Structures are given as C-alpha cells and as structure tokens.
Amino acid sequence: MKYIIVKNITKNNLKKFSVKIPLHKLVAIVGPSGSGKSTLVHEVLYNNSINNEWNIKNLPKVVDILEQKVILPKDSKLSLGEFNLDKLKKKLSAIKKPDLLIVDEPCAGFCQKERKAILKMLKNKVKQGYSIIAVEHNKEIIANADYIIELGPGAGRYGGKLIFEGNLNEFKKSNTITAKHVFQLNKDSFEQRTLEKSQKITISKISAGKFNNYSFTFPLTKITCLTGCSGSGKSTLLDVTYRALFKGQNAWKIRLKTVKIDGKSNVRRSFIVPQSPIGDHPSSTLATYAKVWDNIREIFANEKLAKQLRLTKSDFIISKSILESKNDFSKDILKVCYQGKNIKQVANLTIDEALEIFKTNKLIVRKLAFLQEVGLGYLVLGQKSGSLSGGEAQRVRVANILSKKLGDRSVYIFDTPTRGLHLKDIPVLINVFRKIINKNNTILIADNREEIFHYCDFQINLQK
C-alpha cells in the first residue's frame, strides 16, 4: 500500500507531527473541534501541494479541497443542502485518479438517507482507484472508512497529537474517545415529551419557499428540532419564525405581514444565530470579539509602571501586524505586567488560564466563564477569530448570548448547531441550551444528527 508520509511537521497546534495516510482509500480524519484536523488538511496537505513548504513524500501533485457552504449564494434557487450536494457530485465527476480529494464535513446537515448516499458515492469512487480524505464528525463516514486518523486528545494547545492511525477493525478496538462514541450502543431513539400543557406558537398562512398556506406549531420554553432532507423547508421555517416574531429595531423591514401568529403575546422577541465565521476584521481575535480585551487593556493601563511610562489603554491594542507576527509590542509596553504576565503573554493564555489570572475581576470572569462553559476553555485569547472552526464559532456566539443579561420569553433559532461538533460535545451544547430555556426562553433548531434528537422535547419532521 502506498502512503503519503508526513514527518515532523510543526504548524499551529501540530508540533513535530508525523502520520501516514494511505492513497486509493477512503480515509476519515476525526477528533474534537480544534484538534488540528483543518490544519493538517488545509495548511499542510493542500498548501504544500502549492508551495512545497515541507518534504511530504508521495503527496499527489494536485490536492483539491471541497468545503461545504454554510451560507447559500444569493443567486441559487436550490436549498443549502441541495447546493452542497450538487457541488460534491460535480467535484467527484471532475477529479482525476492521480489527484487527492479532501472533503470537509461532506455529511454535515444532511439527513440519514442523504448521508448514506454520500457515503456510497465516496466509496464507489475509491473502488475505482481514487484517493479521498474526509474530515468528518458524522458516524456514517467514520464507521465505513477504510482507514481512520484521529487527532487529539483535546483541542487547541491540548490537541495536535496523533491519537490513532489504522484500519477500521483496529479503530473499533482502539477505545479512543471517537471510537467509543461511534460504536457505542444506539441511544439515539427519540421520545416525544408530553406538551399538552405547554404554551405554544402557531404560525399559519405561510407561503414561502416550498410552502403554500402552511401551518406549524412549536412549544415555548422547550427545545424543538426541525428535521428533514435537503429541500424540505427547514431553513425556510426558521427564517419565517424569526421574521414573524422579531420585535427589534426596524422590525417592520423584515416582518411578514401575510402570516397569522397565535401566541405572539407570549414572545418578547426572536434571535437567529448564524453559522458564518465570526469577526471578519483582520485584527479580530477571540478576546476582542468577546469584548473582554478592552477590560484587559484597561487593567494594564492602570498599572503603576504603565502610568510612569505614560502608556495609555490604546498602547495595548493588538494590531494586525502584531497578530500576523510582522511586528511586536514595544519594549516599554512589554515591561508592564499584571500577575507576572505582560500583555503579549496574556494574549497567549487559554481561557482556562486567563480565568485564573483575572479571577478577582468579576466582569472579565463573567465574559470568559461562559466561553469555558460551552467547552471552549482551550481557546487562546489572542487567537484570530477567522481561525476558529465552524463548531467553535457557533459556540462562541452561544457564549455571547449567555454573557448578556438574558431576558425571558425570547426564541433563539439555530440552523444545524451540531455542525463541526464532535460527538462528545453535543451534550455540552444541550446543557447550554437548557440554561437558556431555564430563563423562560425557547430554542428552535434545524438539525439532522440523530445524536441530538433524544435531547429535544419536540420534533417536527418535514417531507420534501
């Protein structure tokens, strides 16, 4: 068997990382969000096919990556799922046998029927002699791959290590965190809760997308999950609900006038949590997005030495050039320390570490504790916002919701909230959802991963 040989690569959280990747196989790369999967496929394999930064043996000359869109192009008449499936089919038709195709989360957002069809397409291509790597969290691909590579054990600086490499039979016996979740007994059956006594919202006379005079009902102060294959109308109903219930600034611009809403007086307003990357500004970091860096800069500016050196709060800004390592803070700025750490060292702290350093500052603790609570304690304060995985970005948004003073009677809407999440992280997300609900709020999601179904209170299956 011929292998791509990656040896002693250091990039992001991969430190002297080595792995063997077989060609002409379906290879699944698995592990927690932020464990180094994207670094391996994007910044090592794909980039090396362009700039030859490292000596990677047997790497095909052409390495192509197919990533799912999370926002539908405005000119598309297809649903998001249909658009992504069409892209995958076209890519599989276009690849050549000497090439390496990397597909990033090919099954994300799809129903079980579609996931099985995607698996069949990938397997058929491999049978014909093609080489395919799939970065995936869904069980279908992992449980049917020819070869599995697992990164971990955690994420960020706690990840980047090779936990397992081998064939499927070896993986089943490995007892890794991913293997445990993939091959555990099926606990995904859904039991509908009794909701007769719950307050409800009914939106009727819906004429949008595929719907014509459609009506649907969901309970308040519960988790409701819309399921269904691509094109069944899940995203349409989420958008209709958001617009029908929105009462914020300029609500009249998006409000739907044709629908009828029963129970609207029981809802204060609606919020939709997008899947798009966070902080597109070139100097945006996790700390700036979470609005905690201002508080940290203020602490440093108030230090006795900072005042002696006539440094102000603006001197402790992380500029784009500093973020990209083209420049550094001045020597005077780096002399100023808080709890034995200068500003550069603080920027390199994980959230877990920062919570210890700033434990006496209630405001900073409040903002960072929610990031820790959604399972992101491993992220670094000065990390570029755009470098976060899709699953991490959405959990940062959830943490932002929690960090604000949660009002009651709001409906929070999520489209595919499990995208990019390792199986072990789904209960963490649900615990956060329950905290939102416990403040007398409602969660409405669209998702097709069976692992989340049994956590939901109510399920609406839409037919195409």
CATH number (domain holding residue 335): 1.20.1580.10
User: How far are the Cα atoms of 31, 200, 233, 356, 441 from residue 261, in angstroms, in the given order?
Assistant: 43, 10, 19, 48, 18
User: Within this chain, do residues 13 and 98 fall inside the same structural domain, yes or no?
Assistant: yes
Domain end position, chosen among 183, 209, 233: 183
pLDDT in tens, 227-264: 999 999 999 999 999 999 988 777 778 888 789 999 99
Q: How far apart are CA 264 and CA 460, in angstroms?
A: 20
Residue 189 in domain? no
Residue 284 in domain? no
CATH number (domain holding residue 19): 3.40.50.300
Residue 286 in domain? no
User: Within this chain, do residues 133 and 9 fall inside the same structural domain, yes or no?
Assistant: yes
Residue 192 in domain? no
Residue 356 in domain? yes
User: Within this chain, do residues 272 and 208 fall inside the same structural domain, yes or no?
Assistant: yes
Contacts of 300 (CB under 8 A, 6+ apart): 306, 311, 313, 316, 336, 338, 343
User: Within this chain, do residues 175 and 238 fall inside the same structural domain, yes or no?
Assistant: no
Q: How confident is the model at residue 319 (pLDDT cuts 50, 70, 90)?
A: confident
Give how many domains the chain has, as a whole number.
3
User: Within this chain, do residues 104 and 138 fall inside the same structural domain, yes or no?
Assistant: yes
User: Within this chain, do residues 179 and 218 fall inside the same structural domain, yes or no?
Assistant: no
User: Within this chain, do residues 56 and 153 fall inside the same structural domain, yes or no?
Assistant: yes
pLDDT in tens, 400-444: 877 776 678 999 999 888 888 888 889 988 998 998 899 899 999
Domain span at residue 62 reads: 3-183
pLDDT in tens, 172-226: 999 999 999 998 755 544 455 555 667 999 999 999 888 999 999 999 999 999 9
pLDDT score for 56: 95
Residue 355 in domain? yes
DSSP 8-state symbol, 377: T
Q: How confident is the model at residue 274 (pLDDT cuts 50, 70, 90)?
A: confident
- Asked if 440 contacts 408 with a C-beta cutoff of 8 angstroms, the reply is yes
Q: How confident is the model at residue 62 (pLDDT cuts 50, 70, 90)?
A: very high
Residue 81 in domain? yes
pLDDT score for 169: 95
In the chain, the percentage of residues whose pLDDT exceeds 90 is 65
User: Within this chain, do residues 272 and 304 fall inside the same structural domain, yes or no?
Assistant: no
Helix axes 426-437, 390-403, angle to 10 degrees: 20
Measured in whole angstroms, the distance separating CA 362 from the mean position of its chain's CA atoms is 28
pLDDT score for 192: 53
pLDDT score for 198: 75
User: Within this chain, do residues 174 and 65 fall inside the same structural domain, yes or no?
Assistant: yes
pLDDT score for 122: 97
Question: Cβ–Cβ contacts within 10 Å for residue 199, how many?
Answer: 14
User: Within this chain, do residues 219 and 337 fall inside the same structural domain, yes or no?
Assistant: no
- Give the mean pLDDT of the chain: 90
User: Within this chain, do residues 35 and 90 fall inside the same structural domain, yes or no?
Assistant: yes
Domain end position, chosen among 378, 396, 411: 378
Residue 218 in domain? yes
